[in-house]
A and B are shown apart, each in its own frame.
Chain A
């Protein structure tokens, strides 16, 4: 189980997050919603262990993966090396299988710069799932994709989560993504931000909450 207890996170004197507490069960996906600049990405960086400077405590597993807003690949290494260098325990065959699963096995020897944005995001997904993470953190993973590619990526993510079963914390602005991937949604609001509401997906309320956020 992942336990998040952020009592305070500040940049300088300005507090960004206050008393953000929730738990994520193994295999559960939760979505974090909220207006731009509210502190969602900051919270994700705390959960992923990237930023250790905060008051509070986060209990997380050792095997964590993250899908960033940008693909964040090593542009000077080939597609397959982007998997094998990040996951050295992965053999060449397993790396190729991971690429095959995300539909870019024919690009294995290319550099990331030779891929389209959609293919780069597939590589980022392959990298995230190749290590069989216990916790997957996703920060608006389909941003700036065209609707068709975003839909393909969403379907692929759903399938991969179903196969690997990690706990997932997803930040998104899209109610469709939240509805499709998450069991619960937390909405951050206020300054400093805290959890304003918690809803199960599928409820009519969520839709209203999400639309309220975006307005």
Chain B
């Protein structure tokens, strides 16, 4: 009885659940690969190791990974900054919300591909167009999340800051931003996941470097193994970003809740 209790507790541990869950996915992949029985369609996970080490050793994988990461950062920073500012304004000033809400609906429903193609057509096949396309795709999502955050700001805290005449910067830093932090963190986490996927499409369609470009290249060669090597490498990097940057910073801003 005690034994089954301990086992049940162990199986509820979040890290273990996560590991088992990923293990099951891997198992599913192995089973699918066995059933397919054709490495050119779906290679086994272990079969990716050699092409992976070769891609790393040749420098191709680090280079293209670096280029995609660079584009993700270049798009993420302005998309978050503009989206946060816009969402905050829309949540706080009803007139701005009234005027910009229809724009938001239009851009939210505009397919990412359309914006990417239009940016390439209007600006040219260059970095600027690529980054602008990704930024324009992401701003509406960030703004929508932050608008809800701004609407949920505590009016009593606003009143307190007003009565005690807190300076604008102090008010923003100590009263407003901590309330928006969970919304910003949510927008950042979903943002980075969406942005890197859009960056891949942008690279696929019109760049000569990056994971998206490599996937395009190996797609033309019908090299499934290399497509998976590049895609999984970047997923690995994004998981590291999530674990080493996003989650710790989120824990820090939520410290007061768990104290």
Which of A's residues lie within 8 Å of B, judged by CB?
Answer: 45, 48-50, 64-66, 68, 70, 72, 74-77, 81, 85-88, 110-111, 113-114, 127, 131, 137
User: How distant is A199 from chain B, measured CB to nearest CB, in Å?
Assistant: 28
**CB proximity to A under 8 Å, residues B166-201:** 166-167, 170, 174-175, 178
Please report the number of residue pairs spanning A and B whose Cβ atoms sit closer than 8 angstroms: 55
Whether A65 contacts B159 by the Cβ 8 Å rule is: no
In the complex, A76 Cα to B178 Cα: how many Å?
A: 7
Q: A85-B170, A114-B259 are in contact. Are A45 and B159 (CB under 8 A)?
A: yes
The 10 closest A-B pairs by CB, nearest first: A76-B178, A76-B256, A66-B163, A50-B159, A72-B156, A111-B256, A72-B160, A111-B259, A86-B164, A85-B174
Measured in the bound complex, the distance between the Cα atoms of B253 and A77 in whole Å is: 11
**Quick one: closest A residue to B167, CB to CB?**
A88
Q: Which residues of B contact A (CB under 8 A)?
A: 156-157, 159-160, 162-164, 166-167, 170, 174-175, 178, 253, 256-257, 259
Given A113-B256, A113-B259, decide whether A68 and B174 contact each other with a Cβ distance below 8 A: no
Name A70's contact: one of B156, B256, B257 (CB within 8 Å).
B156
Minimum CB–CB distance from A43 to chain B (whole Å) comes to: 14
Q: Is the CB of B256 within 8 A of A72?
A: no
Closest to A78 in B: B256
Q: Cβ of B170 and Cβ of A131 under 8 Å apart? A: no
Q: Is the CB of B164 within 8 A of A75?
A: no
Given contacts A110-B259, A114-B259, contact A85 B166 (CB under 8 A): yes
Nearest-Cβ distance from residue A134 to partner chain B, whole angstroms? 13
With A45-B159, A111-B259, A113-B257 as given contacts, are A87 and B170 in contact (CB-CB < 8 Å)?
A: no
Report the minimal beta-carbon distance from B250 to chain A, rounded to whole angstroms. Answer: 13
30 A-B contact pairs sorted by A residue (CB < 8 Å): A48-B163, A49-B162, A49-B163, A64-B164, A65-B163, A65-B164, A66-B159, A66-B160, A66-B163, A68-B159, A68-B160, A72-B156, A72-B160, A74-B175, A75-B256, A76-B178, A76-B253, A77-B256, A81-B174, A85-B166, A85-B170, A86-B164, A87-B164, A88-B170, A110-B259, A113-B257, A113-B259, A114-B259, A131-B164, A137-B163
Residues of A within 8 A of B256 (CB): 75-77, 111, 113
> Once the chains are docked, how many angstroms separate the CA of A85 from the CA of B160?
12
10 A-B pairs besides A87-B164, A131-B164 with CB distance below 8 A are A49-B163, A66-B163, A68-B156, A72-B156, A74-B178, A76-B256, A77-B178, A85-B166, A88-B167, A127-B164
**Are A72's CB and B159's CB within 8 A?**
yes
User: Whole-angstrom distance from the CB of A130 to the nearest CB of chain B?
Assistant: 10
Contact (Cβ within 8 A) A77 B174: yes
Residues of B within 8 A of A64 (CB): 163-164
- Tell me the bound Cα distance from A60 to B167 in angstroms: 20
Residues of A within 8 A of B156 (CB): 68, 70, 72
Nearest residue (CB) in A for B164 is: A86
Among B160, B167, B257, the one with the most A-chain Cβ atoms within 10 Å of its Cβ is B160
Chain A residues lying within 8 Å of B166, measured Cβ to Cβ, are 85-86
Q: From residue A45, how far is it (CB to closest CB) to chain B in Å?
A: 7
Distance from A204 Cβ to chain B, minimum over Cβ atoms (Å): 36
Residue of B nearest to A130 (CB): B164
Q: Look across to chain B and name the residue whose beta carbon is closest to the beta carbon of A62.
A: B165
Q: How far is the CA of A133 from the CA of B37 in the complex (A)?
A: 81
Question: Which of B163, B167, B178, B259 sits near A50, CB closer than 8 Å?
Answer: B163
Q: How far is the CB of B202 from chain A (nearest CB, A)?
A: 38
By beta carbon, the residue of chain B nearest A68 is B156
B253: nearest chain-A partner, CB-CB: A76
A68 to B160, alpha carbons, bound, how many Å?
Answer: 8
The chain B residue sitting closest to A63, CB to CB, is B165
Q: How far is the CB of B206 from chain A (nearest CB, A)?
A: 44
Interface centre among A45, A66, A76, A131 (most CB of B within 10 A): A76
**Chain B neighbourhood of A131, CB < 8 A:** 164
A50 to chain B, nearest CB (A): 5
- Bound together, the chains give a CA A137 to CA B156 distance in angstroms of 14
Cα separation A66 to B156 with both chains bound (whole Å): 11
Residues from chain B with a CB closer than 8 A to the CB of A48 are 159, 163
